Amino acid sequence: MAWQRTIKEVRPNTNTDWYEASDDTKAHIKSTYEDTGKSLSFSMSLSEDTLTIFKTRIFDTEANRNTFVTDDVIVADRAVFAQHCTDKNTTKSAVTDEEI
């Protein structure tokens, strides 16, 4: 069964930049997960007030979701994201992490 993981980031105002992974991280995700069919889709949507962004990734299986979450590149990116949240006064939280 497919697995959906949605992360929410909330910023204090519209002048605050959203977190964006590095080009190297994006390339790793593309080659390791998207090009191989392990990640079926990735989408982003903004709240009406544009202070909240939802980032949703669909994996083909829970096992591939687990591989993604424990991937060294992804773990390192989460640390950078956490620092971004501290520096920019944003918050990050999981909204969904479930089988669909």
Task: Note the pLDDT of residue 95.
Answer: 96
Asked if 92 and 8 touch (Cβ cutoff 8 Å), the reply is: yes
Residue-wise pLDDT tens digits, 1-32: 999 999 999 999 999 999 999 999 999 999 99
The closest of 13, 52, 60, 70 to 36, measured between CA atoms, is 60
Query: What ranges make up the beta strands (E) of 1-100?
Result: 3-10, 39-46, 52-59, 91-99
Average pLDDT value for residue range 42-49: 98
Q: Say if pTM beats, i.e. exceeds, 0.75.
A: yes
Helix (H) or strand (E) holding 77: helix 72-88
Task: Note the pLDDT of residue 82.
Answer: 97
Domain ranges in the chain are: 3-99
Select 3-99's CATH number: 3.90.550, 3.40.720, 2.60.120, 3.30.70: 3.30.70
Query: Nearest 5°: CA angle at 44, between 98 and 87?
Result: 95
Q: And the tokens for 90?
A: 């944003």
Separation CA 56–CA 41 (nearest Å): 8
